[in-house]
Structures are given as C-alpha cells and as structure tokens.
Amino acid sequence: MNSKVVVVGKLKEKYLKQGIAEYAKRLNKFCKFKIIEVPDERAPENLSPAQMEQVKQVEGDRILAKIKEKEYVFALAIKGKELSSEEFAAEFEKLTTYGHSDLTFVIGGSLGLSSAVLKRADAQLSFGRFTMPHQLMRLVLTEQIYRAFMINAGSPYHK
C-alpha cells in the first residue's frame, strides 16, 4: 500500500519535522509513506477575493500535478466529513479491501484548496472547525494515519 500527503509550503519548525519523521518511520511497517511539498504562491497580505482565487488556483495546479489518476484522494477541508479515529480506520480498511492501494491526502495552503482540487478529491475530511496552521495539520494527519493502521492491526496503541 502507498500513502502520501501532498502539502503546500515548506515545513520550517524543527519540532514538527521531528514528530512527523517519527510517525513516518513507524508507518513504514504498514505502507510506503511520503510527504510531497509543493511551493506556496507568494501573495500580499490584503488580497481581493479574485486574487485569493488566483492563488488557490496556482497552488491547486501544483497539487494536481502530484496526483495520479488511480489514487484515492482525501482533501482536508473545513466543510469535509468529520470521522472518529475508528471510523477513519474502517474507511482505510474498506478502501484497501476494494482495491484502492494508493491513498493520497491533500493539505492546502493558508487560503485553502482550489475548487479543482476539491472536485478531484474522492472524499473531503475535516478535523473539526478549529483553525490550525497547515504545518501542524501535517503532524496531526500523519499521526491519525498511523493510528488507523494500528487500530486495524488490533494494537493497544489506540487505547
């Protein structure tokens, strides 16, 4: 199984890099896991709605260039479906049972995801209505992917 996270922007914070690296190492026993960074689009502070859409479109094109047709794509979006860890694990199990061995998760930039990325997504996930830095979301998502594998393996990690 392959699992990847496509994200906008570079991760600078050492503590987040360390946490993600730890979960990525643990994930290697379950899947081939990788994180792909695409450049964020530089933009001034006070953007018009049209300029915001343009930034999302440019970042969206960069994201879509990293996704293959056969991949099952989860877009992280505030309006997405909220799942418990157990429901997320069950979704993983169901997808792999039905032949989806390439799972891709997408985290947009500070303005969110373009409509083209949301349209390409097979599912939209939400981690709640809290606003989180997208860099922190990488760590949270990576841990939840690991947790899903551990739940499906019957491990006590989840308890």
CATH value at residue 36 = 3.40.1280.10
Helix (H, G, I), strand (E, B) or coil at 51: helix
Q: Is residue 158 part of a domain?
A: no
- Residue 16 tokens read as 């987040």
pLDDT higher at 156 or 57: 57
Spatial separation of the C-alpha atoms in residues 24 and 11, rounded to whole Å: 15
Q: Is residue 129 part of a domain?
A: yes
pLDDT in tens, 23-37: 999 999 999 999 999
**What is the model's pTM?**
0.95
Structural domains counted in the chain? 1
47 is in an annotated binding site: no
Q: Is residue 81 part of a domain?
A: yes
Q: Is residue 143 part of a domain?
A: yes
For residue 28, the enclosing domain spans 2-40+50-153
Q: Single out the residue of 129, 78, 144 nearest to residue 108, CA to CA.
A: 78
Report the percentage of the chain scoring pLDDT > 70: 100
27 is in an annotated binding site: no
pLDDT in tens, 81-140: 999 999 999 999 999 999 999 999 999 998 999 999 999 999 999 999 888 888 999 999
Q: Is residue 27 part of a domain?
A: yes
